[in-house]
A and B are shown apart, each in its own frame.
Chain A
Amino acid sequence: MQAAGKEAAMNQFYEVPDSGGHFGEYGGRFVPETLMQPLEELAAAYEAAKQDESFKNELNHLLKHFVGRPTPLFYAGRLTEHLGGARIYLKREDLCHTGAHKINNALGQVLLARRMGKNRIIAETGAGQHGVATATVCALMNLQCLVYMGTEDMRRQALNVFRMKLLGAEVSGVNAGSKTLKDAINEALRDWVTNVGDTYYLLGSALGPHPYPAMVRDFQAVIGRETRDQIVAEAGRLPDLLVACVGGGSNAIGLFYEFLGDTEIRMVGVEAGGRGPALGDHAARFNGGRPGVLQGTRSYILQDAHGQVSTTHSVSAGLDYSAIGPEHARLHDIGRVEYTSATDDEALEAFQLLAKLEGIIPALESSHAIAEVVKQAPALDRDQIIVMNLSGRGDKDVNTVAEFLDRGE
């Protein structure tokens, strides 16, 4: 895209979403009527909270003292040397309390729920990181917490199931469909539509009906704001390339959002390439999906010719989802962000590489972003800068990786 075109697109971009939650032709509210009034109330409560100094002060206080923000921006010297190209910085969201960026959003929304007088919190979770973050904040705030999780995800992320229970949350297994994130979201929506009076649905990614995609983005945008200050302080200039993995897309939009207007900065979102390009074997929505409507929003969806949503596969539960957040669909179509994918094998290799070179065990989700850095860095000059969002830590994944390595031997 020409620079002028990009700028024009960006000007449009800062207008989004509109009052109905549309990012261009994506987003919106595609829900049963029962949820419309609650969504309007939620949007209004969020708009009011955003303007309220006491809300912002409490959020910032807890982000600092409970979550541990700001998270470091770490120069990955050995990885840089190993790849022999651009300088690589890691935004250490894995060092957030509970081990992933998810708590930035969970904290913001729980404060909002409390403000709205809702004392029953429900959430869905894929990898379990959002469930753990939600359970953690609910424990802190003394709120009842119920987390829906696909039984396949419960199996492969058993550690996180145990953590949620320790934190006082109830975990409800979902046996439908592929027994993963999509099915957990369906069940959470069914709970919400039934118990809408006293229940707050704490959606964990930049997905679902308005206002969730914009609200989750806003709560995650702290990642990019900190990164700007940190990279300028450290390197004296802005980065050339941003890289993040994309499941629903909250860690990616959290890093990218701050820089969307800096049109000279390239951005790459990395989807799960799974075990191959056939429908059902991956979760690369921009490489096999097409626009449609799922779970409250219009976006790119992996689906068959008849509009039935496809199952997905990824070694990483957090990326294993058939749709993508609507703002990413917009960023894709206007060409502001490039989207690519990393396969299971590439992610597993990257996982081990970072562990050995930097002493950091990354989440399998984040390992997809590392795999992209491995591809990009050598082609860039040594004075160029990549910032990658290391969205979570990998303790939860060691069993999965061990199984894989055993199979390989």
Chain B
Amino acid sequence: MRNIERTFLALREKGKKAFIPYITAGDPDLETTGRLILELEKNGADIIELGVPFSDPMADGPVIQRASERALANGVTLHDCLNLVKQVRRESKIPIVLFTYFNPLLSLGFDNIGPALKEAGIDGALITDLVPEEAGEIREQLASSGVDLIFLVAPTSSDARIKMIAEASTGFVYAVSRTGVTGVRQNLSEASSSLVERVRKFSDLPVAVGFGISTPEHVKEVWRHADAAVVGSRIVLEIEKHIGDRAVVEHVAALCSSLVLS
């Protein structure tokens, strides 16, 4: 059984839901990212979404754009992200999902993508600008490498699209809570619960909800209907707030545990 599936199963047996924080690899530096993964795990994270910095993050709002810029200014590459995960694997088995745009992955050389991710210890890939229609060969490749490929559904997706996406996904399905880019929001979109219900019509896979989830109340609300809550920009904002502070990891860990308190 794959790591992500096992994690969701174990949580389900305990009657619990998953918490998935997002951080950008190399923000503010790779060493801190490594420590963050380990501390997030100790403070309530069940799965880690690890962002690969990209020059043109068209699906991201200002917070994650800035994180990407900071990482790129440090010269962080996809190879660095993979090496980082290799190192983390000496100490942790927490499922790690690579959150990336397609172009950096392609730079590995098409045939190398699955093996490289597998070798690094990556459990799943979520490719922001890849939809199932364009994913034929990469799907097969990741499947044969034992790496889950997670697709997104959006409030604009038709039932026909949701069915296709649910069938193409492995590990879990990621439901985008609202139209728009990533970012911190005051209110949780009401559209997300009905989107989760629509996914359930077509799939038994766990459903994670992300985009705009920023408070413990949001997390609690998401957990009422979905299997996992993803918090990205709020966590990245906390990192940004404490850049240069030796206690950045502690601050982020404290935020993480406060988000899952409910």
Chain A residues proximal to chain B, CB less than 8 Å: 20, 28-38, 176-177, 182, 185-186, 189-190, 193-197, 292-296, 301, 303, 305-309
Q: A33-B151, A190-B61 are in contact. Are A306 and B179 (CB under 8 A)?
A: no
Q: A196-B156, A293-B102, A306-B79 are in contact. Are A31 and B129 (CB under 8 A)?
A: yes
Residues of B within 8 A of A295 (CB): 56, 58
Cβ-closest chain A residue relative to B135: A30
Cβ-closest chain A residue relative to B154: A34
Partner of B107, one of A176, A189, A190, A307: A307
- The digit string for B228-257, where 1 denotes a CB below 8 A from any CB of A, is 000000000000000000000000000000
For residue B54, CB closer than 8 A to chain A, the reply is yes
**B134 lies within 8 A of A190 (CB):** no
Q: A186-B56, A193-B59, A293-B129 are in contact. Are A306 and B181 (CB under 8 A)?
A: no
Cβ-closest chain A residue relative to B108: A307
Other 18 A-B pairs with CB < 8 A, given A20-B134, A307-B54 = A30-B130, A30-B134, A32-B128, A33-B176, A34-B154, A34-B155, A35-B156, A177-B55, A185-B58, A186-B56, A193-B179, A196-B156, A295-B56, A306-B77, A306-B78, A306-B104, A309-B56, A309-B103
Cβ-closest chain A residue relative to B78: A306
Partner of B179, one of A30, A177, A182, A194: A194
For residue B165, CB closer than 8 A to chain A, the reply is yes
Chain B residues proximal to chain A, CB less than 8 Å: 54-59, 61, 65, 72, 77-79, 101-107, 128-131, 133-134, 151-158, 161, 165, 176, 179-181
Cβ-closest chain A residue relative to B61: A190
**B158 lies within 8 A of A37 (CB):** yes
**B56 lies within 8 A of A177 (CB):** yes
**B161 lies within 8 A of A309 (CB):** no
- Shortest Cβ distance from residue B137 to the other chain A in the assembled complex, whole angstroms: 11
Partner of B181, one of A33, A38, A194: A194
**A194 lies within 8 A of B180 (CB):** yes
- Shortest Cβ distance from residue B80 to the other chain A in the assembled complex, whole angstroms: 9
Partner of B131, one of A29, A301, A307, A309: A29
Cβ-closest chain A residue relative to B107: A307
Partner of B129, one of A37, A197, A296: A296
Partner of B134, one of A29, A193, A292, A301: A29
Cβ-closest chain B residue relative to A306: B77
**A308 lies within 8 A of B131 (CB):** no
Residues of B within 8 A of A20 (CB): 133-134
Residues of A within 8 A of B61 (CB): 190
Which of A35, A176, A194, A306 counts the most chain B CB atoms within 10 A? Answer: A306
**B161 lies within 8 A of A37 (CB):** yes
Residues of B within 8 A of A190 (CB): 58-59, 61, 180-181
**A294 lies within 8 A of B133 (CB):** no
Residues of B within 8 A of A33 (CB): 131, 151-154, 156-157, 161, 165, 176
Residues of A within 8 A of B55 (CB): 177, 308-309
Residues of B within 8 A of A308 (CB): 54-55, 72, 77, 104
Q: In whole angstroms, how far apart are the Cα atoms of A29 and B56 in the complex? A: 16
14 inter-chain pairs at a CB distance below 8 angstroms, sorted by A residue, are A30-B130, A31-B129, A32-B129, A32-B154, A32-B176, A33-B165, A176-B65, A293-B129, A303-B103, A306-B78, A307-B54, A307-B78, A307-B105, A308-B77
Cβ-closest chain B residue relative to A41: B156
Q: A31-B131, A33-B165, A308-B54 are in contact. Are A292 and B156 (CB under 8 A)?
A: no
Q: In whole angstroms, how far apart are the Cα atoms of A279 and B97 in the complex? A: 32
Q: A307-B107, A309-B103 are in contact. Are A34 and B176 (CB under 8 A)?
A: yes
**A307 lies within 8 A of B56 (CB):** no
Partner of A37, one of B105, B134, B151, B157: B157
Q: In whole angstroms, how far apart are the Cα atoms of A32 and B128 in the complex? A: 6
List of 3 A-B pairs having minimum Cβ-Cβ separation, nearest first: A307-B107, A307-B104, A34-B154
Which of B59, B129, B176 counts the most chain A CB atoms within 10 A? Answer: B129
Residues of A within 8 A of B77 (CB): 306, 308
Partner of A294, one of B79, B103, B130: B103
Cβ-closest chain B residue relative to A35: B156
Cβ-closest chain A residue relative to B66: A176
Cβ-closest chain A residue relative to B153: A33
- Shortest Cβ distance from residue B199 to the other chain A in the assembled complex, whole angstroms: 12
Q: In whole angstroms, how far apart are the Cα atoms of A34 and B129 in the complex? A: 10
- Shortest Cβ distance from residue B207 to the other chain A in the assembled complex, whole angstroms: 14
Cβ-closest chain B residue relative to A186: B58
**B106 lies within 8 A of A307 (CB):** yes
Residues of A within 8 A of B56 (CB): 177, 182, 186, 294-295, 309
Cβ-closest chain B residue relative to A190: B181
Residues of B within 8 A of A176 (CB): 65
Q: In whole angstroms, how far apart are the Cα atoms of A37 and B104 in the complex? A: 26
Q: In whole angstroms, how far apart are the Cα atoms of A176 and B128 in the complex? A: 20
**B102 lies within 8 A of A37 (CB):** no
